[in-house]
Amino acid sequence: MSATPSGARRVQLGRTGIEISPIGLGTWQFAEGKGLDRFVYECLDQDLVNEIVRTALVGGINWFDTAEAYGWGRSERCLAAALRANGVADEDVVVATKWMPGMRTAASIGRTIVTRRRCLYPYSISLHQVHQPIALASVKAQMDAMADLVELGLIRSVGVSNFWESWMRKAHAALQKRGLPLASNQVKVSLLNRRIETNGLLAAAKDLGVTIIAWSPLEMGMLTGKFHEDPDLLKCRPLARRHLLRLKLESSRELVGTLGEIADANGVSTAVVALSWLVNYYGDTVVAIPGATKVSQAEQNVMANELKLTAKETGAIDELSKRFRRRVPFGP
């Protein structure tokens, strides 16, 4: 199966030359609902995962983001199985994964790459990311370890996740000395979290040519409007998600209402409008990785890649969302 239908929009991942769809597919939900992951996502049947991945591919989505920490290899294996089931060739897909620092040194990056590649076999790692900034190693040491993997041909590019502006600049500088670009920084961005505009991340990304990968772009479903229509749905969500969603229900009501009106005018869902705004408002600098636990959600992700909002619609959403740009003292 080809993952690149004719006419599908592509943007460049940083300055790597790797081309991706503005919207990819996040795959934490493929972690089989075990361990701590069960507090966030329930287990998905592999046949359903195969269909979700197929829907994304047919619709022009060509990249998938997973991580070591998503079930400690389970998400990676589940994703690879779904790609194989759909007959996808390695050269037709972009796979991103992440190394989890925790209480590890930079040497762990080289030691664990064998496991990452085995879990994702036969798909190569186009983007390998440091999952979070706290580690028993300097940023330079981590980037040098990643650069070693690029030079060995074990990964294609290097990214980071949840890095502050200053740390992102350090990562970029360390890779630059090795003749490599920093491809990306994966941080939380949505219409309810626009802090990249006030904490320096967006400006730095544009300056350095780094792609911002937005995780949780629908705020765990809050921007779909379904919880505003039926708050009782929260009772069915895993504990951690239920708590976080309740905190945002009232503060997002006016914005979600406007998203719904624009969605009705365009014949799409509220989620499609929220995602389309995100990957178009910032130009090619911001891409997004919404998840999908249903085929219909994967279809919405595809529609968001295609929808073009008018200037008036974009402006109305911007105006109601501006207050979510506020600066915070710590964190990305």
Residues serving a catalytic function are 70
Q: Strand 19-20 and strand 158-161: pairing?
A: unpaired
- Grouping H, G, I as helix, E, B as strand and the rest as coil, residue 212 is strand
Using CB atoms within 10 A of its CB, is residue 270 exposed (0-12), middle (13-18) or buried (19+)? buried
Angle at 25 between CA 169 and CA 132, to 5 degrees: 35
Terminal alpha carbon distance of the chain: 38
Q: DSSP letters along 60-93, please?
A: T--EEE--TTTTTTHHHHHHHHHHHHTT--GGG-
Which amino acid, one-letter code, is at 20?
I
Q: How far is it, in rounded angstroms, from Cα 263 to Cα 273? A: 6
